């Protein structure tokens, strides 16, 4: 009778190991999919921000028109102040758009 007990315990242990392996594999697949989607979203946002970035050109024209010294214009461009202002403005716009999502669901 001991052999039957050992067989049943071994079978269910094998079955539980299989379920555990399946759950871990499913978790890894879901994590990979979430990472891929998130990475793709960030790539699209970065590409869009890089393509639309005319802030340095606009700043240079405005600074030259305002009569700023060329050394100050160079310094501002080296610390990438115009680009950082573009990113901050884009973050504010994205935040404002994300605030619209809960409003759309609560007004149904």
The reply to whether 67 and 23 lie within a common domain is no
> What is the residue-level pLDDT of the chain in tens, covering all 108 positions?
777 777 777 788 888 888 999 999 999 999 999 999 999 888 888 887 777 666 667 777 777 777 878 888 788 878 888 878 878 888 898 888 888 877 767 765
Say if residue 29 is in the same domain as residue 73: no
Domain final position from 26, 52, 78:
52
- pLDDT computed for residue 54 by the predictor: 67
Going by C-alpha positions, the residue among 95, 102, 105, 94 that lies closest to residue 49 is 94
Whole-model pTM over 0.75? no
Q: Whole-angstrom Cα distance, residue 65 to residue 85?
A: 20
Same domain, residue pair 62 and 82: yes
Q: Residue 1 carries which DSSP code?
A: -
Domains in the chain: how many in total? 2
Q: Quote the domain boundaries for residue 31.
A: 1-52
Residues 5 and 40 in one domain: yes
């Amino acid at each position: 009778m001991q052999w039957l007990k050992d067989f049943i315990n071994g079978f269910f242990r094998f079955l539980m190991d299989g379920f555990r392996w399946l759950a871990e594999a499913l978790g890894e697949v879901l994590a990979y999919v979430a990472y891929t989607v998130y990475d793709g979203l960030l790539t699209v946002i970065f590409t869009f921000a890089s393509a639309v970035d005319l802030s340095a050109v606009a700043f240079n024209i405005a600074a030259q028109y305002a009569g700023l010294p060329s050394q100050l214009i160079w310094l501002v461009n080296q610390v990438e102040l115009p680009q950082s202002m573009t990113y901050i403005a884009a973050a504010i716009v994205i935040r404002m758009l994300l605030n619209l999502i809960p409003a759309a669901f609560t007004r149904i």
